[in-house]
Structure 1
């Protein structure tokens, strides 16, 4: 093993010892009672299978076969989740083939950040993760189940499903992806049209046509944002079947993988002699594997929030220093948009997750001695699923990438580091993703322009007020202020300024999304402005230094002068109601800081 990976893992194990032991003890106590429906009264049980077919009722009465809970984030507005409409029937049929039963236990909300970007609804995006977690717990609370199949793929949805399912971590659990849509308009061309629109050089009709050619069919969006980062991390943690992440929807192989996932989770269930629950698969080592995979692929910055929260749900404490230390020894092996021109279909065709995992295992950057839904050892995930005469089989991954412009070996990386840095100084502590930022743009020192709303930035750009070297400070965007929306709408404006030769950076207590791109962005900065953090004391014209090479985020003010300024906190009353926001005041008041997952859960735990 790489000594840094070993050292970080051992540190996480020591740091988490008490909280992890407490979590595993609780799961062990709950697991002893399984199958839980044995404890149900006759009235409870009759309610639980009242709508079942007679054969399923008989199976559930006998207690010696598994009942699989289906928890789904299906809706037919999200292209990524529309394919899930047919999955429950496939899962039920597969369960019947094993002599078992599958019941649709519950649905969770699933919002699309692509629809809500720059809209008030985006302020419910991050909170939806915790709502999904609670919805998952409600779905599993009936004590009817021996195993769980989770159907979800996008941004907050996979983390929410995992957090909720970890409260039932004694149950074996498998995540079943839906797969990406086929490639459409190249992402680089889409971004070019967006930037021209921001500059007023093309109209809305041309922009809509470009967007429609890019997002064009059922399946996950093909750029490497949070949704597709989810798929890589979950597969590297052994929670998918091997090679399942990027098989397109509506194909025979996709359905075969869904059937096989159901059969495998039944084999892991207690009625079939299994004792491996989700709590055992999500371990300190598998969490470190996920972080390494995130860094090796230049994945979403949102996972500096989400995987912290997932880890805490399993009693594991990680922080941004763990990410940064791993980043320093993890080579960047992929170039997928926004870090390159290719999309996830190209990555999959070049060798995909099986080849990536083998490269990282062989380099000692991933722990092989982990539990997975396939059993002990991550090496099983270096295989590729194929259909032969209608039967699902696995073959060894290709020995070399078929396209080194997309996926490279450890011996020839795009960069020697993973491109994620902790950035801190007298303005607070945040993170910066540099995997898509050219070296010449990684240090910016320029006057601040301070804003309290994305729209203000757009308006200043359109008036020509940002045509100079500038550090855009966008504050009042943290979890306590307005739910921490993504600020992806800023990308075309800031990118245009950089392309015109200006030195540009963004500093914000908000999120920049999984599509963080070529402009250096210090994000998730805390203490956030709404809680009196240093960003609330920055004024227009203050000189700010954003140095990704040294991890420095500072305003050129003395300590006394900065402290003496009155916080200028924007009136947030406009963010508190409308579009459902009035229902989530409890989230804004109670959410933890970004480095603790920006979550309502685990307050006082794992600290």
Structure 2
């Protein structure tokens, strides 16, 4: 093992020891009790199989066979989830062939940040992760099940499903994706049209044509955003079947992998193969997922999602762990927005199989882990194929088939990962530098402060930002308005940068996996809504974002900065209504800070809420 990877893993394990031990004790107790349906009152059990017909009912009634819960994010509006409408029937048939039964236990919501981008609905997006976790918990709470198959793909859906499943960590659980859509309009061309539209050089019809040519069919969007980062990360964590992440929908191989996931769920629910999800997700698998994220320049959303997932398994992951690993994990992939290729091109170049192969060879991944496919991560260097209609695995590519897209650890695109942490007198933040050219990674300029994307857009159109400038957009954190993504800022900021100005963004909001060429210090914590230093920044303050040294500073006398009145504090609660936002007020009050996963669960969120409540009362 690389010594830094070993040291960080050991530090996480030591820090997490009390919580992890308590979590594992709880799993052991739940497993000793066995399937709860075995001890249910007759009325309870009868309700559990009343809707089933045929032989499955007899099997459940006799409590003789494993029962697999299907929890799905299917809907037919979102391209990434539309292919899943056929999955439950496939899973039920496959589970039956393996000697088990499968029931559709429950659905979870799935929203698309691409649709809600820049609209009020986006302010529900981050909280939807925890709603999905709770919905998964409700589906599994009937205690009729021996294992679970979790159907989901995008942004908050996969972390939410996993957090919910970890609350029932004594059950084996396999995540099943839908795969990416076929390649459409190149992402670089889409970005070019977006920027032309921001400059007034392209019409709305031109823009809609470009977007429709990019997002054109069932499947995941093909850029390397949070959806595809989800798939890669959970596969390297051993929660998918090997090679499952990027097989397209509508193919026989996709169906075969889904059916095999159901059969495998039955197999690992009992006997010597028993593999509970709470044991698969351990300190080593969390580090493996983090290394894979860094090596590919993945979504910044995982600086929150991985922390929250780890916490659900009794593991305490910190941004310091991200930072230290990022310093030694090389950047091995160039997928848009970090390059011109899309995820299908990445897969063709060698995909997850080659990535795991080269990272294992470099000692950057833990091989000795449990996975849903069996012991050892070496299994994930193999790719699925159909041989005379039967699913088999064969060795994956031992070398990259396109070094412009995917490289070995011995010849990386960059010596360190695509994510870095910033800190200074404005707090802590995340920056994704894999798509930011070196000459743009240090910006020192006067601030211009906004509290909405709309206000920024108006200033840009009025020509007020034609200069070196650090754009501050605050009151965008979890407690302020649910932490929406702020992609409406990017085309205009790209225009300013292309005109030769030094430009940077500092915000307590999110940017996600589509963060591009603009240096952006995001997820600043503590956020402005709870009195963080960002609430004291004024127009004209000179700020410095330095991604090379990892600093984020306001050049303001410390006494003056501390003595300034907090602006826009607390945020305007009346603005957080409409489009269902008022329904989430309790979550907004209870959510923890970004560097602790921006979660409403557990002692971290509770203590954060208590501290902010006391602060507001004192004011």
- Structure 2 residue matching 1:603: 3-state secondary structure: helix
Unpaired runs of 5+ in structure 1?
Answer: none
Tell me if 1:375 matches 2:374: yes
The structural deviation recorded for 1:54 is 2.8
Paired residues of 1:129 and 1:159 also in contact (CA < 8 A): yes
Matches within 5 A, 1:386-535: 386-535=385-534
- Residues 592 and 603, structure 1, Cα contact 8 Å, conserved in 2: no
Aligned equivalents of 1:574 and 1:485: distance in 2? 17
- 1:431: Cα distance to partner? 1.1
Q: Is the 8 A contact 2:357 2:398 kept in 1?
A: no
* Structure 1 CA distance for aligned equivalents of residues 342 and 54 of structure 2: 47
Measured after TM superposition, the shift of residue 42 of structure 1 is: 0.7
Matched, 1:341 2:340: yes
State the shift of 1:57 in Å.
1.1
Q: Aligned-residue CA RMSD in angstroms?
A: 1.1
After the TM superposition, which residues 65-464 of structure 1 pair with which residues of structure 2 at under 5 Å, given as runs?
65-270=65-270, 273-464=272-463
In the TM superposition, what whole-angstrom CA distance separates every residue of 1:471-505 from its partner, at most 9, and x where no partner exists? 00000000010000011111111111111111000
Instruction: Return the alpha-carbon distance in structure 1 between the equivalents of residues 34 and 204 of structure 2.
Output: 57
- Please tell me whether residue 544 in structure 1 is matched to residue 543 in structure 2: yes
> What is the CA-CA distance between 1:274 and the residue it aligns to?
3.6
The corresponding residue for 2:610 is: none
Q: Which runs of 5+ in 2 are unaligned?
A: 608-619
Contact residue 16 and residue 606 of structure 1 kept, 8 A? no
| Segment of structure 1 superposing worse, 506-515 or 272-281 | 272-281
* Correspondence 1:575 to 2:575: yes
Per the TM alignment, residue 63 of structure 1 is displaced from its structure 2 partner at its CA by 2.0
Q: 1:590 deviation in Å? A: 0.8
Contact 2:49-2:61 at 8 Å conserved across structures? no
Contact 1:19–1:606, Cα closer than 8 Å, also in 2: no
User: Partners in 1 of 2:133 and 2:604 — Cα distance?
Assistant: 19
Distance 2:448 2:16 in 1: 41
TM-superposed CA distance for 1:35, in Å, is 1.7
Q: Structure 2 vs 1, CA of residues 357 and 217 (structure 1 numbering), >3 Å: closer, same or farther? A: same
Pair 1:557 & 2:576 matched: no
1: CA distance, partners of 2:232 / 2:604? 31
Residue aligned with 1:182, SS? coil
* Contact 2:596 2:604 (8 Å CA) reproduced: no
1:30 aligned partner: 30
Secondary structure of residue in 1 paired with 2:142:
coil
SS of the counterpart of 2:470? strand
TM-score (norm 1): 0.99
Task: Tell me: CA distance 1:32–1:605, structure 2 relative to 1, closer, same or farther (3 Å).
Answer: farther
1:6 correspondence with 2:15: no
1:414: how far off?
0.3
Q: Deviation string for 1:320-375 (max 9, x for gaps)?
A: 01001000000000000000000000000000001100100010000000000011
Distance 1:595 1:355 in 2: 31
Residue pair 1:236, 1:289 contacting (<8 A) in 2 also: yes
**Partner SS, residue 445 of structure 1:** strand
Are the structure 2 counterparts of residues 604 and 302 from structure 1 closer, same or farther at C-alpha, using a change threshold of 3 Å?
A: closer
Q: SS of 1:95's equivalent?
A: helix
**1:34, distance to aligned residue in structure 2 (A):** 1.6
Tell me how far apart the structure 1 counterparts of residues 100 and 369 of structure 2 sit (CA, whole Å): 28
Compute the TM-score of the two structures, normalised by the length of structure 2: 0.97
SS in 2 for 1:70: strand
